């Protein structure tokens, strides 16, 4: 088995290399155990010019190689095309997409720079695994430099139906870039079907590669252990005491319009209006760490949530009870594990999500003898796996309210039955099995030249 080369938009920062906080670093931790690994990507630093040569450092048994980006390249590649055009498009939000040819040029320029900086570091028997929508053209850029190693690509976000994807100007050239990869993975079969439909209609230049579903997971045993330990931690005890015996409904997200947080707040407000027996008996804690705070749409979203939170508390609060607690800063992952464990309801209602690992973390954190219930958007990839969840259409506040009422009134035995169904799925599709299945497919084939 040759070396594994991971390529991502950004490599883990120094602390995350030994204590991953979430996301890709956690997902790949098991994949890189016992295997020589090079992890390549952006350093997170902007400079006067984009680097032409990678800087390398070894940490925790992994070699990290990074390059700096020019400020203009960063703006066009990351803020412009990746997150201003592709992110909303891939999440079915075409109306929020902004296309600029200069951004597309920067996107391709950075992918070319990544390829040029990585190519001298490669060995003939490497298996290269590129991640996410920032790097779709990366494989084709490597092929143009003569790289013949096995190349894999995994898309962590959804892929929309062809009718939506075709709103992307010059989208056909991006589809053809998938042809450089030997294996293409997505989260769900629906995403695979959508991408394959688009790949099949590129035009005369057919793309032979086909996407397959590799659902990502977590390390459930580790997270369950962290939750048990955090159950008696000072932060968990502070939260428990502050609730004064009330049931906790918990939402944990990045502050992003794809997460459906305004609709969630609306659903919670409807719960209090339509099912007044829950007034002064429940508290919603919404943690929504700010991301991309310099982008107009995200600033507008934060203002909207500030107003909604104030309105809900103004209408329903008592002198000794605020129904909604809303945080815009991050909470450490181990602390969250304790919060998940004490929550009566996990509320996970994205408008569209590739997988959503919060749902799986909530399940893993539960006390098997007295588990909470999970209210989950049917448009999250996790909904395809977690059969015991209470599924909702997140666009309907009344449906969210009804689901919350059901979750809060389920019998203890019903909650245990639902949890056991979900726990079996979380144990079956772990981070290790996700990485193992993908890499087995990638390693099994011949080099591209063959």
The single residue of 156, 256, 278, 316 carrying the catalytic annotation is: 156
What φ, ψ does residue 232 adopt, rounded to 5°? -110, 15
Cβ 11 vs Cβ 28: under 8 Å: no
Could you tell me the two tokens for 216? 């990502």
Cβ 288 vs Cβ 261: under 8 Å: yes
Cβ 20 vs Cβ 143: under 8 Å: no
Query: Does 191 participate in catalysis according to the annotation?
Result: no
C-alpha to C-alpha distance for 216 and 30, rounded to whole angstroms: 12
SS3 185: strand
C-alpha to C-alpha distance for 163 and 89, rounded to whole angstroms: 11
Cβ 377 vs Cβ 351: under 8 Å: yes
Which residue(s) pair with 374 in the sheet?
A: 346
The single residue of 30, 182, 191, 353 carrying the catalytic annotation is: 353
Which residue(s) pair with 58 in the sheet?
A: 63
Q: How many other C-beta atoms can be found within 10 angstroms of the C-beta atom of residue 148?
A: 14
Residue 22 to residues 82, 131, 218: CA-CA distances in angstroms?
21, 15, 9
Could you tell me the two tokens for 2? 């040759």
H-state helical runs in 372-411: 397-409
By CB neighbour count within 10 A (0-12 exposed, 13-18 middle, 19+ buried), where does 123 fall? Answer: exposed
Number of H helices and number of E strands within the chain? 18, 14
Query: Does 156 participate in catalysis according to the annotation?
Result: yes
C-alpha to C-alpha distance for 101 and 108, rounded to whole angstroms: 11
Name every residue whose Cβ is closer than 8 Å to that of residue 285 and which is 6 or more positions away in sequence. 239, 248, 249, 250, 251, 325, 327, 339
Name every residue whose Cβ is closer than 8 Å to that of residue 349 and which is 6 or more positions away in sequence. 251, 259, 260, 263, 264, 267, 375, 376, 377, 392, 394, 400
Q: What is the DSSP string of 23-58?
A: HHHHHHHTTTTTS-EEEEEEEEEEESS--SS-EEEE
Q: What's the half-sphere exposure (Cβ side, CA atoms, 13 Å) at 448?
A: 24
Closest CA to 151 of 137, 134, 130: 130
Which are the catalytic amino acids?
A: 156, 353
């Amino acid at each position: 088995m040759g070396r594994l080369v991971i390529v991502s938009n950004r490599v883990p920062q120094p602390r995350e290399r030994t204590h991953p906080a979430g996301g890709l670093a956690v997902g790949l931790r098991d994949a890189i155990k016992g295997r020589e690994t090079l992890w390549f990507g952006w350093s997170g630093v902007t400079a006067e010019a984009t680097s032409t040569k990678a800087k390398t450092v070894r940490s925790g048994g992994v070699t990290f190689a990074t390059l700096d980006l020019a400020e203009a390249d960063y703006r066009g590649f990351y803020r412009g095309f990746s997150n201003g055009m592709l992110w909303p498009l891939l999440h079915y939000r075409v109306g929020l997409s902004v296309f600029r040819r200069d951004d597309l040029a920067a996107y391709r320029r950075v992918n070319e720079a990544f390829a040029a900086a990585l190519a001298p570091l490669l060995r003939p028997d490497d298996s290269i695994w590129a991640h996410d929508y920032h790097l779709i053209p990366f494989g084709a850029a490597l092929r143009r430099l003569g790289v013949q190693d096995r190349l894999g690509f995994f898309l962590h976000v959804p892929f929309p139906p062809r009718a939506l994807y075709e709103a992307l100007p010059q989208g056909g050239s991006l589809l053809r870039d998938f042809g450089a990869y030997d294996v293409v993975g997505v989260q769900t079969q629906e995403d695979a079907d959508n991408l394959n439909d688009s790949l099949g209609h590129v035009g005369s230049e057919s793309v032979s590669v086909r996407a397959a579903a590799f659902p990502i997971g977590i390390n459930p045993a580790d997270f369950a252990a962290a939750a048990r330990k955090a159950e008696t931690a000072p932060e968990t005890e502070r939260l428990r005491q502050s609730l004064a015996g009330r049931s906790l409904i918990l939402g944990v997200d990045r502050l992003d319009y794809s997460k459906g947080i305004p609709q969630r707040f609306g659903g919670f407000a409807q719960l209090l209006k339509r099912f007044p027996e829950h007034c002064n008996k429940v508290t919603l804690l919404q943690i929504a760490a700010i991301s991309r705070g310099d982008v107009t749409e995200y600033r507008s979203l934060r203002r909207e949530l500030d107003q909604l939170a104030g309105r809900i508390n103004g209408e329903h609060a008592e002198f000794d009870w605020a129904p909604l607690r809303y945080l815009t800063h991050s909470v450490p992952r181990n602390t969250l594990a304790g919060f998940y464990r004490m929550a009566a309801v996990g509320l996970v209602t994205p408008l569209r999500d590739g997988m959503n690992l919060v749902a799986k973390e909530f399940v893993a954190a539960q006390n098997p003898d007295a588990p909470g219930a999970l209210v989950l958007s049917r448009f999250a990839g996790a909904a395809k796996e977690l059969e015991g969840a209470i599924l909702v259409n997140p666009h309907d506040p009344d449906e969210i309210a009804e689901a919350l009422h059901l979750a809060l009134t389920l019998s203890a035995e019903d909650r245990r039955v639902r949890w056991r169904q979900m726990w079996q799925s979380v144990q079956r599709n772990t981070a290790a099995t996700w990485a193992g299945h993908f890499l087995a497919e990638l390693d099994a084939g011949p080099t591209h030249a063959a």
